[in-house]
Structure 1
Amino acid sequence: MEAPIIDDELWTLIEPLLPPPKPRRKEHPGRPRVSDRAALNGILFVLKTGLRWNYLPTVLGFGSGATCWRRLNDWRKAGVWDRLHELLLDKLREAGQIDLSYAAVDSSSVRAVGAGGKTGPNPTDRSRPGSKHHILVDANGVPISAILTGANRNDVTQLLPLVDAIPPIRGTRGRPLQRPKVIYADRGYDSDPHRQRLRERGIKPVIARRRTEHGSGLGKFRWVVERTHSWLHNFRRLRIRFDRRADIHEAFLKFGCALVCWNIFRRTEQPF
């Protein structure tokens, strides 16, 4: 299997975000330190293949699975994944690829092998332990914010947290973008109090109501969020949750959102 490689352009953006390595003792330096880029390639390999850490092939030059796991965790603590996501959102806005004329929200459930934090009985999977990925995307399907919860959490409980988690999106002169004009959502988000709170934030809610006939017509706006969930689930580590620690799975989720943003950005640079 060919190893996934972080390309040079993306590495140029990521490298300045990484914290400096911890100093070593001169008298007992230990083994040579695995380079950050090699460890990042190992993390990407696990994200794409879904491989368990202890099966990470060291012959590909990544270092051990334990080394890559520690870097993932250290960079999570340093806020690298959040800052990378925000940086790529800024670049997309600069390229004219952020459209917050409307946003769409939805969730997807994933099985959690071994349970752990932010899991719960999945009502769509015979009450087996599971988690939910809640995401908000713009009109182009760019993932703007993402939240992890247990699979038994109702979608509507994460509607306002998703909106409040939108980072200031810069990239051009003037005020940063931080609020969509309209939000489209399915029946799982039907709640009059939540509609009112969106209006108080200056957002028009367009949410399907329960106990009404299907065919609301919202699908022509909401399909972008379903496509983005599909893009995220191309990363096998996000399709099935193997990490008992919620913060580690959240790091993978944020890294996956950043990679989706990067793929969209690269398409805008290619000549037609």
Structure 2
Amino acid sequence: MPAVPASFIEPLWVHFEALIPARVDTHPLGCHRRRIPDRVVFDKLVARLVLGGSYHRHADDRVSATTLLRAHRDEWIAAGVFDRLEQAALEAYDTVVGLDLSALVVDGCIVKAPCSGDNTGKSPVDRAKSGLKRSLLVEGAGVPIGCELAGANRHDSPLLRPILERLSRFGFDLPETITVHLDSGYDSAVTRELLDELGCTWQINPKGQFVPVNHTHRWKVERTNSWHTRGFRALQIVTDRSEAIQRAWIAPANGKGRRWRDHRQVVNGILWKLRTGAPWRDVPERYGPWKTGHERLRIWTMDGTGAKILDEAVVKDDAAGEVEWVFSVDSSSIRAHQHAAGARKKGAAPIRSRPSLWPENVSDGPAED
């Protein structure tokens, strides 16, 4: 079974093959052994990125671990093929869909690094075992556009400047106003001075105050970090010791992305759940993972997609003369499941139940410390 569907791997290989430099044969007699096809090695590298494990586990009678590890991989890293692939993917996405560089989100993620090496340190979340921290920069829709590596025991704040300097890859084609969304780990005067220096505004969660991640823009970077660790085993458990190799694995992961579940399939699952009233976990597999439907419905509710659909339907029906503007008002009582019970009955609702996207007392500009 392939690690990646053919519908995805084929166009990725076409772009990758175009970036591979022509090989110069330096043997005086030109009598080298026949070179392993690049496509075979590419498929093996993608399989290791997705499935993880040692290089020997992915070797077979067509290609050895030595060829896979030292020859092709290091040769492509030295030629900058992986970085150019990521840049080409970002430029293509910007052309077709458009990158939202006006709202950026930065956050870190700690993963295991049992073999130590560059950018590793004692992990504070894994009993001081060797770990690696990835500080990830995503744009408004959650597309990764930059990454910095450091030891797991490093603080996030010192990584903010180099990660924001990754925006130089887009040249001068940047919006006039850029808002950076950060969690409470960045709540300091040093961070604000840095963002002022770079000409950015900010939304920073205040220290000591709980702000649900789904009430902010930070859920987008959390989703991307989850996609990296759950979709790519080589990024979840880093066994490569060299920084160049560690970065090389991140570039194709950012360029590959994950196949977006078809909206029609997800909408059908949501309508099935609405029609039957069954729990989310009972949604049939033909509608995709139930978590996808739940997450998509939550996103569409928060960004007002549902209200826009209703308004559009009313406008079209009204234009066709099918809307009779005679109003009736009534109420009804229905039974609520036990999971819907427990709502606050007195006083103001706590911050975690606010419907707004951002609490009013979150720092959104320069402030005195």
Report the AA paired with residue 23 of structure 1.
Answer: D
Whether the 8 Å contact between 2:102 and 2:175 is mirrored in structure 1 is no
Q: Which residue of 2 aligns with 1:64?
A: 64
Partner of 1:22: 24
User: Which protein is bigger by CA-based radius of gyration?
Assistant: 2
Cα shift at 1:29 = 2.3
Provide the rounded CA distance (Å) in 1 between the counterparts of 2:162 and 2:50. Answer: 28
Deviation at 1:199, TM superposition (A): 2.0
Q: What is the alpha-carbon distance in structure 2 between the residues aligned to residue 184 and residue 31 of structure 1? A: 54
Q: Normalized against structure 1, the TM-score is what?
A: 0.86
* Equivalent position amino acid for 1:14 in 2: F
CA displacement, residues 103-151 of structure 1 (integer Å, 9 cap, x when unaligned): 1111111111121111000111111111011110011110000111110
More strand by share: 1
Residue 214 of structure 1: aligned partner: 210
Determine the structure 1 residue equivalent to 2:317.
none
Match of residue 192 from structure 1: 189
- Quick one: distance in 2 between partners of 1:138 and 1:199? 19
Report sequence identity in percent: 31
Matches within 5 A, 1:124-139: 124-139=125-140
Partners of 1:135 and 1:217 in 2: CA distance: 16
Mapping of 1:5-154 within 5 angstroms?
7-25=9-27, 27=29, 29-59=31-61, 61=62, 63-70=63-70, 71-154=72-155
Cα displacement (A) at 1:26 = 6.0
Distance 1:218 1:49 in 2: 30
CA change 1:178–1:28 in 2 (3 A) is farther
Q: Deviations over 1:214-270 (max 9, x none)?
A: 12777431101011111111100000011122221121112211212x757x989xx
TM-score, with length taken from structure 2: 0.65
2:245 corresponds in structure 1 to 248
**What is the rounded CA distance, in whole Å, between the counterparts of 1:199 and 1:184 in structure 2?**
14
Asked if the contact 1:89–1:169 (Cα under 8 Å) also holds between the matched residues in 2, the reply is no
**Displacement, 1:24?**
4.7
Instruction: In structure 2, list runs of 5 or more residues that go unmatched.
Output: 268-369
Mapped contact 1:166–1:179 kept (Cα < 8 A):
no
Once residues 170 and 128 of structure 2 are traced to their aligned partners in structure 1, the CA distance between those partners, rounded to angstroms, is 38
C-alpha separation in 2, matches of 1:31 and 1:221: 54
Flag the structure with more relative contact order, 1 or 2, with Cα contacts below 8 A and sequence separation at least 6.
Answer: 1
Unaligned runs of 5+ in 1: none
Calculate the aligned-residue CA RMSD, in Å. 2.5
Q: 1:176 aligns with which of 170, 173, 178?
A: 173
- Structure 1 residue 180: Cα displacement: 6.6
1:158 match: 159
Task: Measure the CA separation in 1 of the matches of 2:213 and 2:68.
Answer: 45
Number of equivalenced pairs:
260
